[in-house]
Amino acid sequence: MDLRISEGSGTNTTLDDQSVQSPTRRAKVWEYFQQELVEVDGVMKAVCKYCGTKLTSKRNSGTNSLRNHVADTCPKISVEDRKRFIATMRKKPGEGSFVFDPRKTRECMVKWCISAEVAFNKFDDPFFAPWMESLQPSFSGVGRQTMRNDCIARFKMMRQELRNELQSLNSRICLTSDLWTSN
């Protein structure tokens, strides 16, 4: 099976390629180390591809020593590569403390549905629910009626906000329309 994943994902790998990779080598730091560990004095160590330094790499100890080597001490890694690596290690603000909020998700779905003019029946598509579940398993399904009701509630809220804003103005408003018919 050769399913390419390229549109919008920034990757060009196949599902077969992904299954070949070891699940213990997911960290970006392994790009800088040989995949095969070597045994030194009974301890498994990772070997730096650039300088050949051997660093302890136990399954339960994590990759901190490897990251520190690449980010700080490896003499053979270029400054550009080092900066690029450090940039991938930094978390974006608020990234480390993500908490899923189903209300915010539904609100974003409503905005998207209105903006993209998505038909409500698309939410009853048999592939929609599994897709949402793959993104966030704890998010309960949203059907066409729920999305319709959410969109109507959003419309009513926006209409009331507009009324309040127009009533609070100290000036007058003139609304005109031009209607004409043609054969």
Q: CB count, 10 Å around CB of 142?
A: 20
Range of the domain at 118: 102-167
| Dihedral, 52, 11, 61, 53 alpha carbons, nearest 10 | 10
Q: Choose the weakest-confidence range: 4-13, 49-58, 71-80, 129-138.
A: 4-13
Q: Is residue 181 part of a domain?
A: no
Residue 23: inside a domain: yes
- Is 96 part of any domain? no
Give the pLDDT mean for 153-159. Answer: 95
Angle between helices 144-167 and 102-115 (to 10 degrees): 80
- Does some domain include residue 177? no
The pLDDT of residue 161 is above 50? yes
Each residue's pLDDT tens digit, 49-64: 889 888 887 666 678 8
Q: Which residue has the tokens 């103005």?
A: 169
pTM comes to 0.46
Q: How far apart are CA 74 and CA 53, in angstroms?
A: 8
Residue 112 above 90 pLDDT? yes
Residue 29 inside a domain? The answer is yes
